[in-house]
Amino acid sequence: MLGGVVLLVMVAFLLYRLPKMAGEEDRSLNLGPTVRRLLRNRRYVEGVVAQAFYVGAQIMCWTFIIHYGVNELGMSRSEAQGYNIVAMVLFASSRFICTFLLRYFSPGRLLMSLAISGGVLVLGTIFLQGMTGMYCLVGVSACMSLMFPTIYGIALDNLGDDAKLGSAGLIMAIGGGSILPPLQGAIIDMQGIWHLSSTRTSFFLPLICFFVIAIFGYRTFRIHHPPSEDNNPQTPA
């Protein structure tokens, strides 16, 4: 039903023009040419991919923190959920710190650093025993705190009027959260590898996600070179 509503809204955008703003001559949505321009923009396409992997990583780290506590540490579900709440509080509070850091680091560099830090903590979750692994998993939330708006801002930078449709693609990337967590759940239901349990093994999936995000951050400041990063780093919209 929700998909049907979205389809009707898309048809409405195709058939009717959006209202004009002061100083604009035309805001009609030229879907075909706009989509083609967006698909030719490597930074935008890579941003959509990175966003999909980020949302998947976020949901995986928050959802399966309960499984980690129950399966690896013998906690009750309610006790494990308590650590999940701590992770969310850390996520919210760390956003202020990361926003402050954007005064000194370009968005691409900060994104890469956060992704690498998140990956290191996920490795700790996989290989470190006892509560240390749980603390690492909780700490991942601090690294994820500013990833969504940073990826969003980088991908839409300098798109001009195409950002109107481009932002929709980035929001649709949230669909990564409906694909990756079930895959991790399937891994948990399987046998582990080497000396690792299936629960610990499953966290290689968010590790891959942070690797993809780190590559996007690196390519942002090394290859794409958006002017807003080089000249005036600021918090992305």
Give the number of C-alpha atoms closer than 13 A to the C-alpha of residue 210, restricted to the C-beta side.
Answer: 24
In eight-state DSSP terms, residue 25 is: S
Q: Which has more confidence, 195 or 21?
A: 195
Q: Say which residue, 39 or 235, is predicted with more confidence.
A: 39
CA distance 107 to 105: 6
Per-chain mean pLDDT for the chain: 86
| Encoded tokens for 235 | 């918090």
What are the pLDDT digits (tens) for 108-145? 999 999 999 999 999 999 999 899 999 999 999 999 99
Q: How confident is the model at residue 184 (pLDDT cuts 50, 70, 90)?
A: very high
- The reported pLDDT for the residue numbered 27 is 53
Measuring CA to CA, which residue among 190, 212, 203, 164 is closest to residue 46?
212
Give the pLDDT mean for 147-154: 93
Confidence of residue 18 (pLDDT cuts 50, 70, 90): low
Q: Which residues of 6-25 are buried (b: 16+ CB within 10 A; e: fewer)?
A: eeeeeeebeeeeeeeeeeee
Per DSSP, helices labelled H in 129-231 are 131-144, 147-156, 163-172, 176-188, 198-202, 204-219, 227-231
Which spans in 16-128 are helix H? 31-40, 42-63, 65-73, 77-101, 107-127
What's the pLDDT band for 151 if we cut at 50, 70, 90? Answer: very high
Q: Is the confidence at residue 235, as pLDDT, over 60?
A: no
pLDDT at 230 over 60: no
When pLDDT is averaged across residues 25-45 and rounded to a whole number, the result is: 78
8 A C-beta contact, residue 80 and residue 69 = yes
pLDDT for residue 231:
43
Region of 28 (left: φ > 0; alpha: ψ -120 to 50; beta: rest) is beta
Q: Which residue has the higher pLDDT, 10 or 52?
A: 52
Across 148-174, average pLDDT: 88
pTM for this one? 0.82
pLDDT bracket for residue 192 (50, 70, 90) = confident
| Top CATH class, 46-231 | mainly alpha
Most confident of 9-18, 206-215, 216-225: 206-215
- Given a contact cutoff of 8 angstroms between Cβ atoms, the answer to whether 233 and 106 are in contact is yes
- Residue 141 phi, psi dihedral angles, 5° rounding: -60, -30
Contact 230, 106 (CB under 8 A): yes
Task: DSSP for 177-190, please give it.
Answer: HHHHHHHHHHHHTS
- Residue 234's pLDDT band (cuts 50, 70, 90): very low
